Amino acid sequence: MLNINAAEQLSLFDLKSRSQSKEIGQFFTESKTADYMASMLHSIDNAELVKILDAGAGEGILTTSAARRCLEIGNRRVHAVLFEIDKDILTALEENMDQLVRIFIKKSGKFSYEILNEDFVLSRPDKHERDFHISVINPPYFKYNSKDSVYSGATSDLFKGNPNIYASFMAVVSSCIVSGGQMVAIVPRSFTNGLYFKGFRSYLQSQMSLERAHIFRSRNRLFKNMGVLQENIICKFVKSGQQPNIEIWSSTCSEDLAESEVVRYPQELIIDGSNRHNIIRIPESATDSHILRLVEDWPSSFEENNYYISTGPVVEFRTREFITANAQKNSIPLLRMHNVKAFRIEWTGKHWKDAHFILKKGHEKHTRSNKVYVILKRFSSKDEKRRLVAGIHDSKQFKDHLIGLENHLNYIGVKGEDMDIPEAFGLAALFNSTFMDRYFRSISGNTQVNATEIRLLKLPIRDQIISIGKEVQRVKGYEQSTVDEIVQSTLNIRDI
Ligand SMILES: C[S@@+](CC[C@H](N)C(=O)[O-])C[C@H]1O[C@@H](n2cnc3c(N)ncnc32)[C@H](O)[C@@H]1O
């Protein structure tokens, strides 16, 4: 056994300031998690020498686990190439690799290595070396500015867009791997959906088959000792065309990996091939996968129902001169996140956060017609129970012909017509239902509700939505259980 444990891994981290660590995305993997990731590797046949690629090696915990796994599965000759940009960490990395050399000798094997103190993305090793069999990575993650970052355009030959450095790492690693080679990555879940990662997903799916994804039901516990709040997943890919099945593994956190649950799904259920977004959907349980299937079978869609969704046009820091706390003769209500409650908008102008938008010159591009809208909050906080909260903006609530909608809100209407109140109730009930909230969690790891995802939703036909709305209008108080019952009985949803 190697003598590397989480505490030792942490010691070096402690020497650096947290901000410096964040800049280079330096959060180390616990040894338990590293071993678990390596356990996903299957044996490599027909290779005299197995080549491991470590991109952002840190102290080498992942190569250590991967190399040990190679011994276990009968591959005794291993060569590792390790990229690490932080020179302060190289001595520890070298020591850990030397320890591996000794372990392999003891087991009558041979381990060799090469450490490259280079930027993995800018070096683009895939331009000359594409024969790696294995790569187990925990890449850095941070967004970069597409205008002035050195990384901007560095991987534009592979995929379009500059979403986050971890995607560039995964793309270059995928490109370095031999056909049939394996990549295991612990990364934020954000790449599985969302517009920013569309180009990356498409590239990844053209190269790699997703074999297994592991999710942690308790968010934020993986790197909790580092103060990192991030929903991470572990995924295993094999370089080949997409295979017919994908396994979803789940555990509460890294403590109970040994008791993980596993369900095998047909790939069509996990990778949404119905549009060009290739969203990867991850059901947390058998019930969630049942919900996914039910929604897939709905006869219509958001677009087919002729709905539109847009983001509130008022970006407050750009429109300060229009916003006021006190009513003026020519001001209208400005709806913000706190005004949106399930099925209603609560704006009196008296709450200290309630704001007014002044209709002075240039207001047109920031204001919208005062019509009936379903208003969806774009963000929920990490500890909020629900992701989806839909209020109804009834045009009669305010006398003005215009309304202000802040940028943290999405508003939904019907193209070319005014939405009726019962339809608004029906749509809001659907979004506010437990059923839809669970569906949404499967398709999105973010606490953000993006207009793109809503636009791609399958939906019941409008008549059914209106029926739901009429029923919900009849009940008082909109209790969650009553709303759920109405939605599920109208749509004939059972066994949830
Ligand atoms: C999230 S840490 C993971 C470290 C290690 N693989 C582990 O699992 O504990 C990412 C590592 O990548 C390194 N890194 C960041 N940007 C890099 C780059 N552009 N090229 C190479 N290494 C980089 C950081 O210094 C850090 O050690």
At 315-338, the pLDDT tens digits run 999 999 999 999 998 999 999 999
- Residue 9 Cα, ligand 1 centroid: separation in angstroms? 13
Q: Which ligand 1 atom is at minimum distance from the Cα of 56? A: 12
Residue showing tokens 């660590």 = 21
Task: Calculate how far, in angstroms, residue 139's C-alpha sits from the geometric centre of ligand 1.
Answer: 6
Between 443 and 302, the more confident residue is 302
58 lines ligand 1 (CB under 6 A): yes
pLDDT band of residue 142 (cuts 50, 70, 90) is: confident
Which amino acid does the sequence have at 96?
A: N
> In the block, which residue shows the tokens 């094997």?
109
388: pLDDT strictly greater than 60: yes
Do 29 and 102 form a contact (C-beta atoms < 8 A)?
Answer: no
CA-nearest residue, atom 9 of ligand 1: 28
Helix axes 61-72, 31-39, angle to 10 degrees: 40
Region 376-401: mean pLDDT is 88
Which of 253, 260, 54 minimizes the C-alpha distance to 173? 54
How many CB atoms lie under 10 A from the CB of residue 376?
Answer: 23
Q: What is the CA radius of gyration of the chain?
A: 26
Taking a C-beta distance cutoff of 8 angstroms, is the pair 35, 176 a contact? no
Task: List the beta strands (DSSP E) in 381-466.
Answer: 390-393, 402-405, 409-414, 458-459
Which residue ranges form the domains of the chain, and what is each CATH number? 6-282 (3.40.50.12420), 307-490 (3.90.220)
Q: How far is CA 18 from the centre of its chain?
A: 24
Query: Residue 81: enclosing H or E segment and its boundaries?
Result: strand 77-83
Cβ of 85 below 6 Å from ligand 1: yes
- Provide the whole-model pTM: 0.87
**pLDDT averaged over the chain?**
90
Residue 13 pLDDT more than 70? no
Mean pLDDT highest for which of 53-67, 155-169, 279-293? 53-67
Q: Is 24 in the pocket of ligand 1 (CB under 6 A)?
A: yes
Question: Can you tell me which atom of ligand 1 is nearest the CA of 84?
Answer: 22
User: 397 CA to middle of ligand 1, Å?
Assistant: 54
Mutate to test the pocket of ligand 1, among 138, 150, 176 (most ligand atoms within 8 A of CB): 138
* Angle, CA 86 vertex, CA 82 and CA 89 arms, to 5°: 80
**62, containing H or E segment:** helix 61-72
Q: How confident is the model at residue 10 (pLDDT cuts 50, 70, 90)?
A: very low
Please choose, from the candidates 137, 171, 182, 211, the residue with its C-alpha nearest in 3D space to the C-alpha of residue 47.
182
Indicate if ligand 1 lies below 6 Å from the C-beta of 25: yes
Range in 10-14, 78-82, 233-237, 252-256 with the lowest mean pLDDT: 10-14
Say which residue, 25 or 455, is predicted with more confidence.
Answer: 455
169 CA distance to ligand 1 middle (Å): 10
Q: Whose CA is nearest to atom 5 of ligand 1?
A: 58
Q: How far apart are CA 110 and CA 100, in angstroms?
A: 9
β partners of residue 314: 406
User: How much distance in Å is there from the Cα of 114 to the middle of ligand 1?
Assistant: 16
The token duo for 179 is 């056909």
Residue with the nearest Cα to atom 7 of ligand 1? 28
- How much is the pLDDT for 458? 93
Mutate to test the pocket of ligand 1, among 120, 135, 187, 254 (most ligand atoms within 8 A of CB): 120
Least confident of 20-29, 59-68, 95-104, 308-317: 20-29
Q: Measured at the alpha carbon of residue 165, what is the angle toward residues 162 and 169, in degrees to the nearest 5? A: 110
Q: Give per-residue pLDDT as tens, 206-236.
A: 999 999 999 988 765 444 444 445 678 999 9
Cα–Cα–Cα angle for 234, 127, 57, rounded to 5 degrees: 40
Instruction: Check if 27 has its Cβ closer than 6 Å to any atom of ligand 1.
Output: yes
Helices 480-490, 434-443: crossing angle, 10 deg rounding = 80
| CA 305 to centroid of ligand 1, rounded, Å | 46
